[in-house]
Chains A and B, each alone.
Chain A
Amino acid sequence: MSGEAASIPEDLTVTAIHEVAIAALSGTTVGGVTAAVALMTRSRRALSRSRADARAAAEADEQRRNEALQHLVNVRLPSLALHLRSTHYPVPGLMDTGLVGTEFAAFLDSVQELFARAVLEERHRVDAAARAALRGACMEIQAKSYQMQTDLDFLQQACEDEETLKNYFRLDHLNEQLARLVQKAAIVTGSWPGLVRPDTHLPDLVTGATSRLHGFERIHVHSKLRTDTVGVVGRAAEPIAVVCTELLANALESSRADLSVEVTLLQPDNGAVCIQIDDAGKGMTAEEANRAAQLLAGRQQVLLTELGDPPALGFAAIGQLVADHGFQVTVDQVSTYSGVRAVITIPPALVTSINPHTDPLSAMSPRPAPAPRAPRRAITTSDDSPAASPGSGALPQRYRRRREPTLEERTAPGGHPPEPEQARSTWDAFEQGIAAGRAGTPSDIRNEDRT
């Protein structure tokens, strides 16, 4: 609109100049002097009019700049502030395309940049202050919680009364859950996990992780490790326990209260060790999975304000620990129960070997699964089988030797019913015994009689 307004006075000026030129030409003709004078006065009028037009143009120009400035203040900067909060808000550019490329437009852009930088710097400063405050509080609570743990543990050592012990157990479990929540928040706010462990058995770490959660009874840990010497080096022990706890917490939360969470400890051939957590929950949407993958990669600085309200700290804490210690966590697979399969991969550099005799596994940890057992009875050629006699031309055949069923197998519910012949002979003997008893004669004599 303002562009159109600017073009009108220009046109007027051009026509005025044309008139003056025509008048000057016609002035050379004989007898045109009077006309020339008249025209001169007219052109002077035209000139003053063009000066007025220029003033009007300048005013229009200023008006355009004012409008662009107003647009910056009222529209562009507020939407930039929104955009910095969440990138899906669009930021409009210059409204007046006539100003594009001018010095004035560059000034406006630099104002916008300065504004963005100030907002971001201030946001980081405020967030850092909030993190520092939270970190300080969390670390103190964590320390107190560990003191409580020591005290409760001491009380449990001395207690032999079952009811009292159960009460201690309840308090101990509550305290462990509290310590986990506080530790998680401390890690997100930039603290270290808060304690150093010696080299630790992997099954102990995972079992310890389950103990920090409400509903640990639903977690089943299966060890498919080849030996009971697999350990995690001290510096990574507590971080891996924390990561495992958070993934287990997610698995428990996202699945119904009557569904179990299956944890498998695996030892692939590349020297790494894997903790695999399968839940039967509802899985993650593509958006959630994307967000999780971003946080788990641990490459970006996470702001508290980006974690929602109440803040979801789990994945952010895992991301921090992954970045600090160099193990890997993935949650992008689907479990066999169509829930989520989370896998923690511990690289060989963080795996160590622990002597189980000097440093045995905890009694509460799962033992390594026994190696696949050889069949109990070898399949042999039965002695009493109707083997082909040499020279008959038939090929020798192998028969499975029938073994007597063990007591367990015979009495197992749902086992095979006894063979008819066996049942008959058993019943026969029973009848004979009764008959012999009634007749008052020893059964062996009666047997002889019968035969």
Chain B
Amino acid sequence: MSRGQGRRLVPSYLAPGGSSAPTRNSLQSLTALIATSLPAKPHHTPAQQRLLDLTAKGPLTVAESAGYLRLPMGVCMMLASQLVDDGNLMARAPLSGVPDGIRTPGAGRPDKSLLERVRDGLLTAL
């Protein structure tokens, strides 16, 4: 997006492919995206291919991919849902009420006391 304090050069509307049908709109920022190893198609935009490249290395949440691609969250969701429709990505809903632990889907609900200990450990390390 806007690099440094300069004026924006590449707008976000280039990211999603052309006029797509409205998608299910069921993705959330913590939905995990998993590549289906289906290769990118020629009509995919460079941004869609970048997202596929990213998720090819392992599952990633929508929020994380938005960060890596430097795209607004909503735009990244749009990209992801198009790719889910094309069959290049699978979406896995986040575990309810758990803010993290999504990187490995199906890892189960982490223990609250464990999270607190991790937090305390990090705070003392810093």
Contact = CB atoms under 8 A, between A and B. Distances in A.
A211 B50 CA distance: 19
Interface string A170-197: 0011001000000000000000000111
Interface in A186-219: 195-198, 200, 204-205, 207-208, 210-211, 216-217
Given A162-B81, A241-B9, A364-B46, 19 more contacts: A149-B7, A153-B12, A156-B75, A157-B72, A158-B72, A162-B23, A172-B11, A173-B13, A207-B14, A208-B10, A211-B13, A363-B51, A364-B12, A364-B14, A364-B15, A365-B10, A365-B46, A367-B46, A367-B50
A307 interface: no
B18 A165 contact: no
B82 to A, nearest CB: 10
A359 B3 contact: yes
Interface in B1-32: 1-4, 6-15, 18, 22-23, 25, 29
B6 A207 contact: no
The main secondary structure of chain B at its interface with chain A is loop
14 contacts: A153-B12, A156-B74, A158-B72, A159-B72, A162-B74, A165-B75, A176-B11, A197-B9, A204-B9, A204-B10, A207-B46, A362-B10, A363-B69, A367-B50
A360 interface: yes
Question: Which 3 pairs, one residue from A and one from B, show the smallest C-beta to C-beta distance?
Answer: A169-B13, A208-B9, A363-B69
A160 interface: yes
Given A165-B78, A211-B11, A198 B6 contact: yes
Nearest to B45: A364
Contact of A211 (B10, B78, B81): B10
B90 interface: no
B9 A169 contact: no
The main secondary structure of chain A at its interface with chain B is helix
B4 A362 contact: no
B89 interface: no
A162 B78 CA distance: 7
A198 B4 contact: yes
B56 interface: no
Contact of B47 (A150, A161, A172, A364): A364
A287 interface: no
Interface of B: 1-4, 6-15, 18, 22-23, 25, 29, 45-47, 50-51, 69-75, 77-78, 81
Contact of A161 (B9, B46, B74): B74
Given A159-B74, A197-B9, A366 B46 contact: yes
B1 to A, nearest CB: 8
Contacts of B12: 153, 156, 169, 172, 364
Interface string A291-325: 00000000000000000000000000000000000
Contacts of B73: 160
Given A195-B7, A204-B9, A211 B25 contact: no
B41 to A, nearest CB: 14
Contact of A210 (B14, B15, B71, B78): B14
A146 interface: yes
A387 to B, nearest CB: 38
Interface string A211-235: 1000011000000000000000000
A363 B11 contact: no
B75 A362 contact: no
A367 B51 CA distance: 13
A157 B75 CA distance: 8
Interface in A126-159: 146, 149-150, 153, 156-159
A363 B77 contact: no
A208 B8 CA distance: 9
A364 B10 contact: yes
B9 A360 contact: no
A363 B46 contact: yes
A200 B9 contact: yes
Contacts of A404: none
Nearest to B65: A363
A172 to B, nearest CB: 6
A445 B1 CA distance: 67
Nearest to A195: B7
Contact of B15 (A158, A159, A363): A363
Contact of B70 (A150, A162, A210, A360): A360
B120 to A, nearest CB: 33
B50 A153 contact: no
A444 to B, nearest CB: 34
Nearest to B37: A408
B69 A156 contact: no
Contact of A146 (B7, B15, B29, B70): B7
A159 B15 CA distance: 15
A165 B75 CA distance: 8
Contacts of A163: 22
Nearest to B76: A363
Nearest to B13: A169
A236 to B, nearest CB: 14
A174 to B, nearest CB: 10
Given A156-B74, A363-B46, A162 B22 contact: yes
